């Protein structure tokens, strides 16, 4: 004999769904305003104020991220309580995807602002060059390579930390994997140590359900006279001829 479990819908489901949509619209509104504020600042902010604009937009990204995380928690709680159906969840995920696009636009604005002040920031700084990705045999295993160089003519030994992460999508949701989660030795950072340049390479292993979009490399020198640098590289696998 077959038994079927009736679907339990608690009172107030429509109100809860309306509340979720309202929170989504508020988050999207904040992201859209932040995007337009970034464009206005590009045309109207004098060069010495760009660093303040960057700091302001970083703060906006943090606020959007906190709002997004709260929305995800509320959505998960409502799903467990049986207050929204699969179609409602699909719409929530679509709205979250749109939020992610807005955040990417803000990141592009920040990249543009950083390029406007590049001469000032890198005059006594370091650069990341010749970044490449290649497959390393097994499925989901990749080898990365890049070089670190200095812009000045100094000859002192420079040390610091290299942070690496991969940004992408997992199970339909934005996901950020730090180095410790994608290496066999669970290293938090890599060591930077060089006089003129340093070649950096390593192997990472990504989960099967993870779709990478960008690889993030951030370098923090111990010498406070050298500016830290952070770059996002598009996830592009080099062909044999490029290696």
Q: Which tens digit of pLDDT belongs to each residue from 193-205?
A: 988 889 999 999 9
Q: Which tens digit of pLDDT belongs to each residue from 124-167?
A: 578 899 999 999 888 899 999 999 988 766 668 889 999 999 99
Shared domain for 114 and 131, answered yes or no, is no
Shared domain for 195 and 148, answered yes or no, is yes
Q: Where are the alpha helices (DSSP H) in the chain?
A: 13-44, 50-81, 86-116, 118-122
CA dihedral angle for residue 175, residue 166, residue 102, residue 45, rounded to 10 degrees: 140
Q: How many domains does the chain have?
A: 2
Shared domain for 229 and 127, answered yes or no, is yes
The boundaries of the domain holding residue 76 are: 13-118
Q: What is the pLDDT of residue 6?
A: 47
Q: What is the pLDDT of residue 22?
A: 60
Of 202, 195, 199, 130, the closest CA to residue 164 belongs to 202
Shared domain for 59 and 155, answered yes or no, is no
């Amino acid at each position: 004999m077959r038994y079927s479990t009736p679907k339990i819908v608690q009172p107030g489901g429509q109100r809860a769904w309306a509340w979720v949509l309202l929170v989504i619209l508020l988050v999207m509104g904040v992201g859209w305003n932040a995007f337009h504020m970034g464009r206005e600042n590009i045309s109207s902010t004098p060069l010495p104020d760009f660093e303040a604009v960057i700091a302001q937009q970083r703060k906006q990204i943090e606020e959007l991220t906190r709002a997004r995380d709260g929305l995800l928690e509320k959505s998960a709680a409502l799903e467990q309580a049986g207050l929204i159906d699969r179609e409602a969840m699909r719409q929530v995920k679509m709205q979250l995807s749109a939020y992610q696009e807005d955040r990417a636009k803000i990141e592009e604005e920040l990249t543009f602002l950083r390029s406007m002040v590049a001469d000032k920031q890198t005059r006594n700084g370091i650069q990341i060059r010749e970044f490449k990705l290649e497959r390393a045999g097994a499925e989901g295993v990749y080898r990365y390579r890049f070089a670190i160089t200095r812009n000045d003519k100094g000859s002192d030994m420079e040390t610091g930390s290299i942070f690496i992460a991969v940004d992408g999508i997992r199970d339909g949701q934005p996901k950020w994997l730090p180095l410790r989660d994608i290496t066999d030795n669970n290293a938090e950072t890599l060591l930077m140590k060089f006089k003129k340049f340093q070649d950096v390479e390593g192997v990472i292993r990504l989960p099967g359900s993870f779709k990478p979009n960008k690889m993030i490399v951030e370098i923090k020198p111990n010498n406070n006279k050298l500016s830290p640098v952070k770059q996002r590289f598009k996830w592009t696998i080099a062909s044999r001829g490029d290696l």
